[in-house]
Amino acid sequence: MEIKINRDDLLRSVARVQNIIEKRSNMPILSTVLMTAEGSHITLSATDLELGLRQTLPAQVGKEGSVTISGRKLFEILKESKKEQVEIRARENNWVHITDQVARFNLACMPPEDFPAIAAPEEVVSITLDGVLLGEMISKTIYAVTMEEAGFKLSGVFVEKAAVEGETFLRMVATDGHRLSMVDHRVPGVETLEMGSGVMIPKKGMAELGKLAGEGGEVELGFKQNTCLARKGDAFLMIRLLETKFPDYRLVIPKEETCSVSLDRIALLDAMRKMVILSNERYRAVKVSIQDGEMELVSTNPDLGDAQETMAVDYRGDALEMGFNARYFIDVLQAMESESVRLGFADPSKPCLIRGEADSGFLGLIMPMRL
């Protein structure tokens, strides 16, 4: 194989797969990218066996063929180069030569035939989504995915077709058992997706899908067997779905709210950030006290001291006092866009529901803590 290619184009593509390639694995081939030259383009592939990305880039192909190159080292070489074009040439015994006509690198590689195939199911029914919309749905749910190794059932974002008042929406839900995030959006053709009663997309795969969507433009999304497939332009992403049953999240969402509080989102976000200054793993609860037109936040750490802040709210009703993890409030408020948010409560033992007018179809839920 022998090619010349625009350095910036290749750098963007290699940077995209850095979180996919395995840094520490008992299969060294998974730390490489497969580069295949054919016709007037190259195809760059990376996989960790659960997640695979393939992208086509234009190139001057002098000789067709394939090589595997360390994904990390190739990224570092391209990042340090200041030239517009790089040349990559395969040599004997699985060596590859890389040069930008200033610096020259000779890297030991592995046989390209050892690279795992990224095979996609055929005849996949897909829908087309606006990348900005898809990225927004992901950013409003992915933060609530559990980080605990024992929480396999909750280690991804649940995606389903949800019927609401006679309409079918694309719904994403994530929870770690202490909080929940859910977002619905109308998407043309969503009822045609083959996803049964819902699918679980692992957090790593959802993060890569979010990066793909974050570049703007339209994204094709489909499901087949145990695989999620996404395509945007010349990039193709394949994600192996989690084979687990997501719990019935509807059971934790209160049917009614006895009271609600409206206040400025940024003011609440700033106040919660101040409350976590004195918090740690042992003392995480923030006491939230609400009465006529006023909300008081108090964070207490016997080893360090306490913090307090009072803010104006739109509330007229009985006094309320509850405890919450301030970091959960920070996560949900950061993901929202509304200037004003509404906090809904059923009673001090039930979760707090968070909504905003500019965040249509979104619901954030935070379970209370003992004070």
CATH class of 254-366: alpha beta
For residues 153-162, give the mean pLDDT.
93
Edge-first strand listing for the sheet containing 104-108: 60-63, 2-6, 85-91, 95-99, 104-108
Q: Domain 2-114 is in which class?
A: alpha beta
Q: How far is 256 from 254, CA to CA, in rounded Å?
A: 5
Asked whether the domain spanning 254-366 has the same topology as the one spanning 2-114, the reply is: yes
Class of domain 126-250: alpha beta
pLDDT value for 284: 87
Rg of the chain over Cα atoms, rounded to whole angstroms, equals: 25
The answer to whether residue 230 scores a pLDDT higher than 90 is yes
The pLDDT of residue 170 is 97
DSSP SS3 for 188? coil
Tens digit of each residue's pLDDT (9 = 90 or more) over 276-314 = 999 888 888 999 999 988 999 999 999 899 999 999 999
Tens of pLDDT, residues 182-201: 999 999 999 999 999 999 99
Residues 107-125 as b/e (b if ≥16 CB within 10 A, e otherwise) read bebbebeebeebeeeeebe
Sign of the Cα pseudo-torsion (136, 334, 202, 360, in order)? negative
Enumerate the domain spans of the chain. 2-114, 126-250, 254-366
Residue 149 in this model has a pLDDT that exceeds 70: no
Examine the pLDDT at 160 and tell me if it is beyond 80. yes
H or E element, residue 124: none
Mean pLDDT lowest for which of 22-36, 50-64, 96-110? Answer: 22-36
How large a percentage of the chain has pLDDT more than 70? 99
